[in-house]
Amino acid sequence: MSRQESVLYDAQGPKARRRTLIGTGVAVLVLLGLAYLVVQRLAERDQFSMELWGPLINPGNESFEAVWRLIGEGIRNTLIAAALAMTLSIVLGTVIAVARLSLGRIGRIPLIGFVEVFRGLPVVVLVYFGVRVLDDVGVDLSGLPGGQVLWGLVLGLTAYNMVVFAEIVRAGVASLPKGQREAALATGLTPGQTMRIVLLPQAFRTMLPAIISQLVVVLKDTSLVTFIANYDELLSQGESIRRNLDNPIQTFTVIALLYIAINYALGRLAQYVERRQSRARTTGGEAEAEATDGIEGAPVRTGS
């Protein structure tokens, strides 16, 4: 075992490893037993019959096409709302973070209060305000593409997530060495150029895992509108299918798997972008190093 690992925790002796192995085996057996009981109970209630699963997995079923048309519409509407909320949240969150970092101690106080208020509110409350209250007070968004409910949902999600993204970006910039900013200013860049060209790109790369996690949260939170208004996103479409076919376990199992697949794809896409950026930085650094070596190794011509 390495020295670093021994610092993090005490190495287990033979007896401790044996107890851990026995405990793990018992836990696995208990979980398998519970899974068996659940499967047995579902089988007794005929929950594995094709009458219930057929509309979801059998293309020959008369309801299959209609069911997956509804699911497809739900996925599309979910992705539209999530994409709009993600874009607005990242843009506005970055603006808030930059403003908070650029202003003086007194000037930051209103922004700090703004961030703390919206971060402390449950996201479902903000979605309710966006969908219901804005319409009640006369803010008409029905003329926009997608209608009042879509944009109310987007504004509610944006109000919450933009302050979360603002804190993520601020933490990313604060984690950078102070010499980055000082070196950029020494080259003649203005504070605004330093933030835009030097600090923000590095902060986004540093905080990419946290940004990805929050993007997944935004996508999942689109389902909150199901309990507030009629918007045909994925969970709402699942509820419609359940009401018509009376197969909640089967329908929501498929809906859950679709959410997992979409969020997994989002995470993989972000990892791909991160790898491309890392590869580009590595290639650029190697090219710069080769150019520098070439200059240093070039023969110096002296006068005859």
Across the range 109-134, mean pLDDT stands at 90
pLDDT of residue 161: 94
Q: Record the pTM.
A: 0.78
Residue 77 confidence class, pLDDT cut points 50, 70, 90: very high
Q: Residue 285 pLDDT > 60, yes or no?
A: no
Over range 105-131, report the average pLDDT: 89
104 within domain boundaries: yes
Q: For residues 155-164, give the mean pLDDT.
A: 94
Query: Does residue 64 register a pLDDT over 90?
Result: yes
* pLDDT tens by residue, 223-267: 999 988 888 899 999 999 999 999 999 999 999 999 999 989 888
Q: Yes or no: say if 159 and 126 are a contact pair by the CB < 8 Å rule.
A: yes
CA 125 centroid distance within chain: 20
Residue 302 has pLDDT above 50, yes or no: no
Residue whose entry in the numeric block shows the structure tokens 């402390």: 120
For residue 300, being part of any structural domain is answered with no
Q: Let me know if residue 281 belongs to a domain.
A: no
Contacts 24+ apart (CB under 8 A), 174-177: 174/101, 175/203, 175/206, 176/202, 176/203, 176/206
Mean pLDDT, the chain, integer: 85
Closest CA to 94 of 199, 213, 217: 199
Distance CA 255, CA 178 (A): 47
C-beta separation of 232 from 77 below 8 A: yes
pLDDT at 127 exceeding the cut of 60: yes
Residue percentage of the chain with pLDDT more than 90: 42
**How many CB atoms lie under 10 A from the CB of residue 123?**
18
The answer to whether residue 275 sits within a structural domain is: no
pLDDT at residue 297, as a whole number: 53
Q: How many domains does the chain have?
A: 1
Mind listing the pLDDT tens digit for each residue in 196-218?
Answer: 888 888 888 888 888 888 888 99
Looking at the domain assignment, is residue 302 inside a domain? Answer: no
Q: What is the DSSP string of 261-295?
A: HHHHHHHHHHHHHHHHHHHHHHHHHHHHHHHHHHH
Whether the predicted pLDDT of 162 surpasses 70: yes
Write out the two tokens for 261.
Answer: 């697949």
CB atoms within 10 A of CB 169: 27
Give the model's pLDDT for residue 76: 95
Range of the domain at 233: 57-268
Model confidence at 102, in pLDDT bands (50, 70, 90)?
confident
Q: Which of 16-20, 52-56, 175-179, 268-272 has the lowest mean pLDDT?
A: 268-272
CB 148 within 8 A of CB 140: yes
Whether 79 is in a domain gets the answer yes
Degrees, nearest 5: CA angle 9-15-21: 80
Angle at 262 between CA 57 and CA 149, to 5 degrees: 100
Least confident residue range of 125-139, 165-179, 182-196, 275-289? 275-289
Residue 72 has pLDDT above 90, yes or no: yes
Under the banding of pLDDT at 50, 70 and 90, the label for residue 124 is very high
Confidence of residue 183 (pLDDT cuts 50, 70, 90): confident
Indicate if the pLDDT at residue 13 is higher than 60.
yes
Decide which of 294 and 123 is more confident: 123
Q: How many Å apart are CA 37 and CA 30, to the nearest integer? A: 11
Q: Where residue 253 sits, what CATH number does that domain have?
A: 1.10.3720.10
Query: What pLDDT was estimated at residue 287?
Result: 54
Domain annotation covers residue 52: no
* More confidently predicted of 195 and 283: 195
| Domain assignment of residue 16, yes or no | no
pLDDT, residue 80, reads: 94
